[in-house]
Amino acid sequence: MKCSSITLREDPEIYTLTPFIEKFVVEVERCSTIDCYLIKLATLVDSVKEHFPRERTRRVLEKIMKCDEVQDSMSPLAYYSSITIEIITRDPRHAPLRNYIDIITTTLQGIKPKYKQLEVTREPTYRIEEWEKSSKEAIVALRTQRGNIGPMREQGVEKHVERKTSNFANLLKIIAVIIIASTIGVLAYYAKPPLFNSIQTTPTQAPTQVVSFDIQAVWINESNGIQSMVVKYNTNVSGLILELLDERNDVVWSTQLELGTGEAILRLPLEPYQTLTEPRLYTLRAIYQGRVVKNQIVSINGANIELSIVNHFAYHYLYPNRTGTAVHIRLKTRNTGDAPLFLCSSIYRCKPQVEAFMSNYPAGIAILELNEPIVVNPGGENLINVLIYIDSVFLNRTSELNITLKIGAIVKNITIKNVNWV
């Protein structure tokens, strides 16, 4: 979609950020390094965070990454996608982008790469200043010596100047070699970490440290409808990267771990308030200095629900030219699964379906009475109300009413055999 032409009515979020999107597109056009692209991308992310609350940042950023002009601007970066992800993962300067590495990865993998000569990063400022300073000193020295030649013969002057000029040219050649060698070193470090490390290794180095990483417990946590996998771990190194991979082996989230025992939080690739109702397999992959330390498969069965009737009652209602029966049912829900269960009336994928039947025929309109989302965590329980309107049909005390509650793949039935009247 062309985001620059979106109106306020079509998408208020994108419309608000249009100036920042256009600024990003213009600025990255002049970028000649991967480092520059990532700095501009971080600025765009900061703009999103400034204009929207934290819980909406990811969703808005996902929409921005689908803009045609943004994808076209990032197509050169897609050519260097593996190096880009490695830089985000390892370079502390780009740590703020790690929270969105799954979105960036998905975007780069979905863009058609376009070749553009990009350096990995610019040389450190202090090194550039040293080269400039040494060049200026050489020029000044050469000019001073030329001024002190004195009454040398004309031919001697020419030879002297020629010799000094040659020395200066050799100095510039040495500086050029240093620049090329430094650039190759940086490229080798980011593009081929194992090769770079092997070049640095010498017989006098200490033996490679044995990395220990243990997963002690894994569970699913929920906050404002967002579900994350919490991993309790223990490691003897600092800077270890823990990745969460989906069933297609795509990295959906990653985080850097601290030394010792701690808890890592990895966001699951689910919509807000989406109840996981079917089994899924995820992989936890630990990486240290470019080497995979551990792979562990984690199975999540999803939420499951048990229903039981707390109480119920029926009553007749009368409206002009309309009569019927209303049945109010209070249910206790218990989550026997290993993922949160969400119950709500209209938010995202949270809306459950409630149906009522009499003698296998639809009995009327069934409504789940909720003013705000209800979260039933694994092992927890909660109370919900179901209201059924049955037009033109009057229940009697021996009527049998069947209630069906559907949440994704979860389907539960409960039967009321003797209706209580009030």
Give the sign of the dihedral formed by CA 44, CA 47, CA 53, CA 54: positive
**Nearest Cα residue to 419 out of 402, 405, 400:** 400
CA dist 60 and 52 (Å) reads 8
Cα 279 to chain centroid distance, Å, stands at 22
For the stretch 283-297, pLDDT in tens is 999 999 889 999 999
* H or E element at residue 382: strand 381-391
Alpha helix ranges (H) inside 81-223: 81-90, 101-110, 125-147, 154-191, 193-200
Q: Are 419 and 397 in contact (CB under 8 A)?
A: yes
Supply the DSSP string of 292-337, one letter for each residue.
EEEEEEEEE----EEEEEEEEEEEEEEETTEEEEEEEEEEEEEE-S
Own/partner contacts of 138-147, CB < 8 Å, gap of 24 or more, are 138/168, 138/171, 139/168, 142/167, 142/168
* H or E element at residue 49: helix 34-51
86-95, 209-218, 260-269, 314-323 — which is least confidently predicted? 314-323
Q: What angle do CA 223, 12, 16 make, to 5 degrees?
A: 95
> What pLDDT is attached to residue 158?
44
Q: Are 34 and 87 in contact (CB under 8 A)?
A: yes
Joined tokens for residue 193: 């970490």
Residue in the block written with tokens 């330390």: 293
CA dist 146 and 166 (Å) reads 14
- Identity at 386, one-letter amino acid code: V
Domains of the chain: which residue ranges? 3-110, 125-200, 213-300, 305-416
Query: Helix, strand or coil for residue 420?
Result: coil
> What pLDDT is attached to residue 293?
92
Q: Are 358 and 281 in contact (CB under 8 A)?
A: no
What are residue 333's phi and psi, to 5 degrees? -110, 135
Q: Domain 213-300: give its CATH superfamily.
A: Immunoglobulins (2.60.40.10)
Q: Are 354 and 401 in contact (CB under 8 A)?
A: no
Bigger pLDDT: 404 or 397?
404
Question: What is the average per-residue pLDDT within 299-314?
Answer: 89
0.85 cut: is pTM over it?
no
**Which residues fall within 8 angstroms of residue 160, CB to CB, at 6 or more apart?**
146, 149, 152
At 157, is the pLDDT very low, low, confident or very high (cuts 50, 70, 90)?
A: very low
Bigger pLDDT: 37 or 363?
37
> What pLDDT is attached to residue 53?
77
Question: What fold does the segment set 305-416 form as a domain?
Answer: Immunoglobulin-like (2.60.40)
CA dist 417 and 422 (Å) reads 16
Q: Are 379 and 335 in contact (CB under 8 A)?
A: yes
CA dist 24 and 144 (Å) reads 48
SS3 for 239-284, per residue? CCEEEEECCCCCEEEEEECCCEEEEEEEECCCCCCCCCCCCEEEEE
128-132, 259-263, 365-369 — which is least confidently predicted? 128-132
Percent of the chain whose predicted confidence (pLDDT) is above 70: 73
At 302, is the pLDDT very low, low, confident or very high (cuts 50, 70, 90)?
A: very high
Supply the DSSP string of 1-36, one letter for each residue.
--GGG--TTT-HHHHHHHHHHHHHHHHHTT--BHHH
Buried b (16+ CB within 10 A) or exposed e, 278-310: eebebebbbbbbeeebbeeebebebbbbebeee
At 422, is the pLDDT very low, low, confident or very high (cuts 50, 70, 90)?
A: confident
Q: Are 273 and 342 in contact (CB under 8 A)?
A: yes
Q: What is the mean pLDDT of the chain?
A: 77
At 150, is the pLDDT very low, low, confident or very high (cuts 50, 70, 90)?
A: very low
